[in-house]
């Protein structure tokens, strides 16, 4: 797949087919992803790949914890601001409303919205989940490096005809995850990634989020008209 097409067709898939993925394909994706740049080539990423019974048991325990008291589970880093402001608040609301509209969930239907949120913790039915962590002793630059590594995973997956969904929601349940996986004590859980084949019949997978035009976020200097 041409890199332009991989970038343009990458999207957050929220319902997957159950088709399995071989370990060889996953290792190939991770090998490509590890070509991401990092400051002084420190390569700060760690990945736990989970499937089968191990994934089902982990998902079951996270769902139970979320249903019992989601407020008791917090990530070890701040992903979002404590107070939203424009233009980011508007973009956030637009994608949320668009997703719920596709699913037929009304704005006031809190129960249905919560049910959809909990699907995160089943990796949206994907057969493979990746859990991405970073050594907490590193600093902000390594988060930038990790972001490029994660993007490489998403694009390399497209090259194999697969889709993904990057999921910060898992970060809040790091204590539950540590009960299932040998996540190093010095590692901070950053996100999960669902990996699999898209269910093309699912209405939520028809959501293609918009992007601001280049003129909104880029300034060009020294160019002649």
pLDDT at 128: 98
pLDDT at 1: 85
pLDDT digit string (tens) for 54-101? 999 999 999 999 999 999 999 999 999 999 999 999 999 999 999 999
pLDDT at 139: 97
Q: Where are the beta strands (DSSP E) in 31-145?
A: 45-51, 128-135
160 Cβ neighbours under 8 A, 6+ residues apart: 25, 28, 29
Structure tokens at 53: 């019974």
The low-confidence residues of the chain, meaning pLDDT below 50, are none
The CATH number assigned to the domain with range 3-79+120-208 reads 3.40.109.10
pTM of the model: 0.96
pLDDT digit string (tens) for 194-209? 999 999 999 999 999 9
Residues 5, 73: Cα–Cα separation, whole Å: 38
Residues 133, 48: Cα–Cα separation, whole Å: 8
142 Cβ neighbours under 8 A, 6+ residues apart: 38, 39, 42, 44, 134, 135
């Amino acid at each position: 797949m041409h890199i332009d097409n991989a970038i343009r067709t990458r999207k957050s898939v929220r319902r997957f087919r159950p088709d399995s993925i071989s370990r060889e394909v996953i290792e190939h994706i991770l090998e490509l992803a590890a070509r991401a740049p990092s400051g002084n080539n420190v390569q700060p990423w760690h990945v736990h790949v989970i499937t089968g019974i191990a994934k089902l048991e982990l998902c079951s325990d996270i769902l139970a914890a979320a249903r019992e008291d989601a407020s008791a589970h917090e990530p070890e880093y701040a992903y979002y601001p404590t107070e939203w402001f424009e233009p980011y608040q508007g973009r956030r609301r637009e994608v949320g409303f668009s997703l719920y509209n596709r699913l037929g969930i009304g704005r006031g239907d809190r129960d249905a919205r919560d049910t959809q949120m909990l699907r995160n913790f089943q990796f949206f039915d994907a057969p493979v989940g990746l859990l991405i962590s970073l050594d907490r002793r590193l600093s902000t630059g390594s988060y930038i490096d990790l972001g490029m590594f994660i993007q490489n995973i998403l694009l390399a997956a497209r090259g194999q005809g697969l889709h993904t969904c990057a999921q910060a929601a898992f970060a809040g349940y790091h204590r539950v995850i540590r009960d299932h996986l040998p996540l190093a004590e010095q590692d901070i859980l950053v996100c999960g990634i669902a990996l699999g084949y898209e269910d093309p019949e699912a209405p939520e997978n028809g959501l293609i989020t918009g992007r601001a035009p280049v003129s909104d976020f880029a300034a060009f200097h020294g160019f002649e008209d």
